[in-house]
Amino acid sequence: MTETADNGYVIFRLGDEEYGLPVSVVSSIIRYEDSTPVPRSPEAVMGVINLRGRVIPVIDLLRRFKGRPFVPGPTSRIVVAEGVAGPVGIAVDAASEVTWFESDRISPVPDGTLGADTARAFSGVVERDGALVILLDLDEVLPRSEYAAPGAGSGDDSTGEADG
């Protein structure tokens, strides 16, 4: 198998499920730290942290996916990734490894499993060690309107679609 960034994923756990983000969008994984709440921020934004001089939002994907708040534990981490709107931290229960999947092992999300708005957030699924890993598209999972100030990031929304 040829290992390239195109099929490399950072694997992390939220609740009982494993997810993967492309290595190409992940800049670091840090120990979980409490974030500073931001008044009137969207529900999925836990707050902000200062990471090496950059203030970044920390997102609660568990709340977004399952409707319940993230509760940090001893293995909790923040996966720092670069999306269209700039850097964002994702609170996770654990970040286990970087792994590579052969392209032919990655299956599309089955039709009818998810609504149209959420289906775009999942780039595929892959079987690993008897369980499924859900592969995420960062910019679809976290639309810029949910965590970024207007004008943040590159400002290039090449999809031409509105976020809301």
Instruction: Note the pLDDT tens digit of each residue in 128-144.
Output: 988 899 999 998 887 65
- Judge whether residue 22 has pLDDT over 50: yes
Instruction: Note the pLDDT tens digit of each residue in 35-85.
Output: 999 999 888 899 999 999 999 999 999 988 888 999 999 999 999 999 888
Closest Cα to residue 13, out of 136, 100, 155? 136
At 156, the pLDDT band (50, 70, 90 cuts) reads very low
At 147, the pLDDT band (50, 70, 90 cuts) reads low
Q: Can you give the three-state secondary structure of the chain, one letter per residue? A: CCCCHHHEEEEEEECCEEEEEEHHHEEEEEECCCCECCCCCCCCEEEEEEECCEEEEEECHHHHHHCCCCCCCCCCEEEEEEECCEEEEEEECEEEEEEECCHHHCECCCCCCCCHHHHCCEEEEEEECCEEEEEECHHHHCCHHHCCCCCCCCCCCCCCCCCC
Q: Span 85-91, mean pLDDT?
A: 92
Q: Span 106-124, mean pLDDT?
A: 73
Class of domain 5-146: mainly beta
pLDDT for the residue 155: 40
Kindly report the pTM of this predicted structure.
0.81
